[in-house]
A and B are shown apart, each in its own frame.
Chain A
């Protein structure tokens, strides 16, 4: 079985995003960029499945600027076998990404596609579900456990009330939640080896996919700011406050 792992280059999760003064977006100039954390979990899961002998090849794919090659090299250094970059300088919405991925799935025929449940920049949480819809395949979203068993995969999902397990016919789409695994760090020798791994660069036009946006961002603004309140001296003062609020 082959596993396809889509990854996205996003602002590093430790960086506090700043809204541009002209309200056109978030300032990404000279900001540290990294692989979307949920996608790192996806890469790790694919590697673990391969290490367990249940997959032969892992193909990482990214839709983004030329710099997204760095993100793909990270996936290759972690353990992916080869990579495909769909290069574009414009922002591509989840629906268009799903259409590109559908075309890649048609070429690569993976048994599983594992991707992060959402990217920490646009927080859409859509691409995996959309890809599953376009392919007419089952989806196991927000996974905290993935178990392949013959021609099926059991996915334990993090849902509002706790955990839920579904059984999906392969080929299937899985999106990762935080507690699926802890991604490994790439070792220096593996980072060196990753530089020699195959990385193909293509464009959306190569796949005949229209990536024109459907949504127009009219404005990006700062969220309303909360101001710090008072500090109370002791528990008695806190009890008084709680009584004022009518909860005690």
Chain B
């Protein structure tokens, strides 16, 4: 089977989400990559070095700069003439583009796969991760999004794939990019961090969140996350949200501060290697999944912890 993997990149380097997806694709067969963007040859060169990659398709065109689904989906559909499976990471870009590709190919997509069980059989979470379905596709081609935390990263070095330019139709004339407000942070990215410190509604307001959570995260070199309640209350922007409808994370260590542990939050972090919870309510559901729990008032415990590290 020949697979085509959507590469997430910043024009110069390849994002980690791609490496997890390559691992899933390699379980199906030969791995080809698609680097689409504008001025992204450096990213294609980086992608060509990923271990196990046979070929990199490079579509360098101003119309592909912001990965607008209307423009990139036809490009992918063209390439799928010579591939059997399309895989994208289950990032907001992958989730936006893949179903558009699937419908154009008349294929029912497999979203958020957790494992590859056979050529056409996969597991995926349903009901916010409260159940795992094993599903088999009957379509001639496969369109898949991959949950990054469920697959190891492929080695970023070691490959020497050929880079082939592809043209594509360019701008479909349906949509345009206006602008973005992307968070700039010195901290590691949530989805690839080794350590995450997350705060919940108990943090009271954005100033308190900043004063309590950030120093601990800085001490640990950790990424900062938040529960949906904290995001909805406006303590932090939406891109901090860990949970079923936010980011799915699986760091080495996840420290949940003042987070009660709603199902939808647990769905986003329960695959973390070690979970540490600090909460003053000893009956909080978070303690049912935590490896290490501290029942304490976070406003005294967290500064004390930060001070002692």
Contacts and interface: CB of A to CB of B under 8 A. Distances in A.
Interface residues of B, number: 90
Interface string A106-125: 00000000000010111111
Nearest to B220: A247
Contact of A26 (B70, B126, B176): B126
Interface stretch (A53-61, A71-79, A165-173): A165-173
Nearest to A132: B100
A230 B291 contact: yes
A52 interface: no
Interface string B117-149: 000010001111111111111110000000000
B183 interface: yes
A248 B309 contact: yes
A130 B102 contact: yes
A18 to B, nearest CB: 8
Given A129-B69, A223-B125, A235-B305, A163 B180 contact: yes
B175 A168 contact: yes
Contacts of B237: 162-163
A130 B101 CA distance: 8
Contact of B99 (A94, A216, A222, A245): A94
A95 B127 contact: no
B51 interface: no
A159 B246 CA distance: 9
B274 interface: yes
Interface in B39-80: 66, 68-70, 73
A36 interface: no
B100 A168 contact: no
Contacts of A217: 133-135
B126 A164 contact: no
A202 to B, nearest CB: 22
A215 B136 contact: yes
A161 B93 CA distance: 11
Given A19-B131, A121-B126, A230-B292, A162 B182 contact: yes
Interface in B75-106: 91-93, 95-104, 106
A220 B239 contact: no
B146 to A, nearest CB: 13
A107 to B, nearest CB: 20
A169 B175 CA distance: 6
Interface stretch (A42-50, A188-196, A236-244): A236-244
B131 A223 contact: yes
Interface string A122-158: 1111111111111011111110100000000010011
Given A123-B128, A157-B92, A235-B308, A228 B99 contact: no
Interface of B, secondary structure class, is mixed
Contacts of B102: 95, 126, 130, 133
A179 B92 CA distance: 16
A177 B270 CA distance: 23
Contacts of B252: 245, 247
B181 interface: yes
Contacts of A158: 92, 238-239
Contact of B96 (A139, A220, A228): A139
Interface in B290-309: 290-296, 301, 304-305, 308-309
A159 B292 contact: no
A164 B67 CA distance: 12
Given A166-B175, A235-B296, A129 B100 contact: yes
Interface of A: 11, 16-17, 19, 26, 93-95, 98, 118, 120-134, 136-142, 144, 154, 157-169, 177-179, 213-223, 226, 228-232, 234-239, 241-242, 245, 247-248
Interface of B: 66, 68-70, 73, 91-93, 95-104, 106-112, 121, 125-139, 173-183, 191, 194-195, 219-220, 228, 231-232, 237-239, 244-245, 247, 252-253, 263, 270, 274-276, 278, 282, 287-296, 301, 304-305, 308-309
